[in-house]
A and B are shown apart, each in its own frame.
Chain A
Amino acid sequence: MSGRTLTIVLLLAPALASAGVRPGYGGTVRIGVPVAPHLAPGAPTAADAILERATTLPLLDPDAAGSLAPGALAEVPSPEAGARAFRLRLRPGLVDASGRPLGAEDVAARLAALARDPTSPDGWIALPLLGADALASGRAPVLAGVQVLSPTELLVSLAFPLPDFPWLLATAPAALRDAGPFVLAARRPGTSSPGDPIALSRNDRTRRGRPFADALELVPVDPRAAVRLLEQRKVDLVLRPEATGGRPGPALLAATATVAAVNAARLGAGAEAVRRALASLDRAELARRFVRGPAEPLASLAALAGAAAPPLSPAPGWAEPPAPARIVLLADSSVPDQRALAERLQVKLFDRGLRAQVDLVDAARARTRLASGDYDVALVAVLLRSPRPALAAGQLAFAARGPDAGRRAMAALAGLEGERAAAAADRLARELDLFPLVTSGLRASLGPALEGFAPHADGTFDPGDLWLVAGGTP
């Protein structure tokens, strides 16, 4: 066996239990989540990410070791033309849950759909594609950067060099719809309420073969219910900020990153005082005291895991800048911990002589007001989709400042890693008036019967790999 083949086999093999029990099939795996999935376009929650991963087929699979493995694509594409073009080759014989063949046209359609809606939180994925801006603005009818060469091959051209592009293909929004290990079970209108479990049934046609569990349920649970249900074996896995008993699993770090965006256009001369106040924040304290669950200071827009987060440096100047009379601090109430963070910022701003009014609004209104500039300082929380610095920075910049900033961030950090990426991200943050604050994740609490939980480098996991020892029977 070649080394590459062996590597791929290892990457795709489900995690073995400590003792020698091979995965069994059958049963329903129940996952407790903080809030029910939205099941609609919008800022995705952790539950939405699980649901998306369960029902889609990734083009590429990130693994726990930080590498990419082929998914729907037959190979990880290599950069061509100075990382401005990538040739994607799909595996033959792919079908969705209904048995419909999937091919290059479906990948092209997916990328075009992402490019067509610039207001979608996932729109950043299409930013590097040549012609994405023209398609989004209606100046072009088709996505110029995507050429379908054959039923299983397409050529993607980029607007700027981006060696990290394969990692974009590994994100869940780029994955092929309705081809994952599970399909959403049909709900009869009027028979369910928002707090009901989301039920999914297995899809035997998915590329990696029949999932181990027959069914999957996403159950919204509060902390107390999570502990009780885990003890009673009514849920098998709980993903919440806090531990809820059972066996501790690996933490899903860097799931949500929060930055503060300063609206200099509205603050005018008062912007500098706000910047100085934000720069004086102790991000380590924010992460430790005001975020539930596993959290770290967000060292930079590159969102490098484990990177040191030195104190933010205010712009040089000996004179105390003029302070605005009162500022509006905008935050998304649907994202966990945003209220606590906003209120902490309110206190810190007050200490610096700035009076702030916290406006907690729902996700849709937060996005609208952010886009229209109706804020002085905004907390922007993003469910990070990729561990690559260029893509994390691009996603954060897109969410806070729009498509042009997202493109600029990706181009500035393209191919960079480590300290070079962090330095470029620092420059970018100053240019975009963004203050990286914290990154927070979820803790996994596993029931006694659950096996196969092995998060990838991007914080996702394949729900098809989850299985129950002895079918889940005690």
Chain B
Amino acid sequence: MTSVTATPAQAETGAIRATLPHVAPFLSILAIAMILPFVSNDYWALIGTRAAIYWVLVSGLNLVVGFAGHLAIGYVALLTLGAYTTSVLVAGNVMPPVPVFVALPIAGCVGAVFGVIVGLPALRLRTFYFAMSTLGFATIVTQIALAWQSVTGGGIGISGPEFPAPFNTPWGFYALCIAIAAFTTWLSANVARSRFGRALIAVRDAEVAAEATGISKPRMLIAIFLLAGALAAIAGGLFASLQTYITPDAFTFDLSVLFFIAILIGGRGSILGPMLGTIILTILPEIAAPLAAWSTFLYAVLLLLIVLVMPGGIAALLDFRNRRPLASNRAIVPRPAALADIVRRSAGGKALALRGITLSFGNVRAIDALDLDVMPGQIHGLIGPNGSGKTTTLNVISGYYAAKAGTMTLGEDALPPGMPALRATRGIARTFQTPRVIGEASVLQNVMIGGSVEGRATFVEALLALPRNAQDERMLAAKARALLGVVGLESLADVRADRLQHSELRFIEIARALMLDPDFLLLDEPAAGLSSDEIERLAGLIKAISARGTGVLLVEHHADLIFDICHQVTVLNLGRTLAAGTPAEIRVHKEVVSAYLGG
């Protein structure tokens, strides 16, 4: 499931051939599901229905856990909510009864709302806190179901909704659930392979870089929580119907554990893996009946083993493509000339100006009244000893730090302090001192992340695979491939990024930044760790980028590189400008030579 993106350059048949290996496993599972009624009995109808219902929930939850990386361990609460909402609406305890096919979407809406409420802490905090908030929600939903007797029937329970013919037989209901499960698989796959799915993984594995590319974490997560909540609640409605009668006891925490562990066994960032995980975990206690009481214990043991032994899950086992060895003597040969083939989006022409920027950490003044002008089409070097405020300056420009005083302007417009996610739309892109790349995604996907703000399709369009989303995908993939050619990595496009060498990651970051066609490119020590050949090629690449009208702000320790390619150089010391001027002036500047360059 690493790359499902079809390439536009290839013909239609090529696209089919590229997607077939990814779709085939799902089609085989669907085929098995369709054969099942003809080869087995009602008992298996029940198990198959259950697996399908669980998968409806897990397909949504997978986007939260597997893609966004938020450990939602209490999703049984949303199943409970959906089950009770549907049952109560159909039974008419509170208001006039409604048909089940109306009640189910209503339950979905309720689930979506609560999915967001439970997910809210994830916007600020990750991991344990979020896990706890879902766990807490799971605890109170059960308590409410028990105590709110007038509506939920308390401990006595309430009848589940009954579906009209032809869905009122075991196999009829089975067919309905399989159909819904197939539909939700399609939905979640659409999200997963759209720019939204990539953005989720980017926020998970490289949050800082994701912000710099303009991905808005809150908006992404809220969309996902809405979807996952709705699917969970719809699964709940189906579950209530399958159970025919529900009490709070039916929704034990063990179910939550099953959902959660199915995803982890399946593997992060995969859809096939969690699907297999769900099927296996549903069937496992059935074929080993004496183990039924110990099933949760077994799930927990499985979880521990997966975490300790095989963190990639089933998906990593099935990922044969990334086990092929890479050539060991590969060299990065950028082709800066190819930049000309890529259409330039914006005219640029604006200058980036910093005036009196001041920022202190505690009592340390990291930057002290700094003035800096970066002109379009120029390479501006920023050098100075360690701790002189070079990277901090970049962080202020890209919004990770809000300056205490001073102003930043881009052309005529003020650049608001803070708010890193707004920089990409202003045409400012950057790389990082330590490359921030998504290890589990392919090189191509990593580069495509850089163009996230250029996509025009909305989340709903991506969800339903409408044409505009396909256009976005084609455009982003084509541009990313072209840029990989520019930086000289096109042969590695489909390789997992964590298999690459350090120097290659640096060039991926540059390609990612170029996806924006930035007016300004901030490079933070791009030559660190590169060989002298690679530095030479990097120099050519940077020159070509600036020749297209992009202003480059280059933080670097390699004095040769700076003096070779920069038009302007600013030397910082202790957060202040020590000297500024052309490379020739700086090279002979007395204080610079004594403080930094050395005589």
Partners in one complex: no
Binding site for B on A (CB under 8 A): none
Binding site for A on B (CB under 8 A): none
